[in-house]
Amino acid sequence: MSELLPYVTVEPTSVHKATVIWLHGLGADGHDFEPIVPELKLPAELGVKFVFPHAPVIPVTINGGYQMRAWYDIRNADLSQREDEAGVRQSAEQVEQLIKHEIEQGIPADRIILAGFSQGGAVTLHLATRLNQKLAGIVALSTYLTIPDKLADEKSDANLDTTIFMAHGQQDPVVPMQRGQFSAKVLEENGFKVQWSDYPMPHAVCLEEIQALGRYIEEVLG
């Protein structure tokens, strides 16, 4: 996998000292969360660059095989069986290449935050719990843990002390909040630290959540 995923970049306004790699949800693209960067209100001196990769275009079974940007195929509406395990693992490998690219540019892993929304959050949780390098932070929004039964055997200890910022909508019809809470429980049972928040919203993000995320980023990079 020598070729990097294409991505959108938001450069820092000062010297580049840290990077957030943020994965979009199903059917969106790297531009989806670009407008949120100013809303985080991060201090310029943190020097945070944002990398928003575009997922590959693949046929998605649950949408009648229609081709769209997706991190993995979704086969049915049942969250416990919906993900395409091979697809999750392939996307995780591609995102790991982006992390390696940032390290090659001089940003150490412990100055990199891996973030994702929905499907992107699922890939984020899969990769971050198995990565052999310590990250600065892990952000999982409106998402769930794929392949939870294999986590105990596959997890790495590198990010056991890295707080995972998890947030979810209480009225989420796409990924029910109970699935997010179950995922947080499995993560904690496997030794990971979870900071959980939920908000009165559907499958989306809200201002209060973005403000909390801004504080989290500032805290882990400060």
Q: Which of 7, 133, 148 is nearest to 83 (CA)?
A: 148
- On the question of pLDDT at 79 being above 80, the answer is no
Residues designated as active site: 118, 172, 203
In terms of Cβ atoms closer than 10 Å to its own Cβ (0-12, 13-18, 19+), residue 101 is: middle
DSSP state of 45: G
> In this structure, how many other beta carbons lie within 10 angstroms of the beta carbon of residue 106?
9
- On the question of pLDDT at 1 being above 60, the answer is no
First to last CA, the chain: 33
The DSSP secondary structure of 130-151, one letter per residue, reads T-SS--SEEEEES---SSGGGH
pLDDT of residue 2: 60
Question: pLDDT-derived band of residue 75, with 50, 70 and 90 as boundaries?
Answer: confident
Instruction: Give the least confident one: 10-19, 74-83, 156-165.
Output: 74-83
pLDDT of residue 77: 73
Q: Beta 164-169 vs 194-199: how paired, if at all?
A: parallel
Would you call 12 helix, strand, or coil by DSSP? coil
> In this structure, how many other beta carbons lie within 10 angstroms of the beta carbon of residue 200?
9
CA-to-CA distance for 77 and 74, rounded, in angstroms? 8
What is the rounded average pLDDT for all residues in the chain?
96
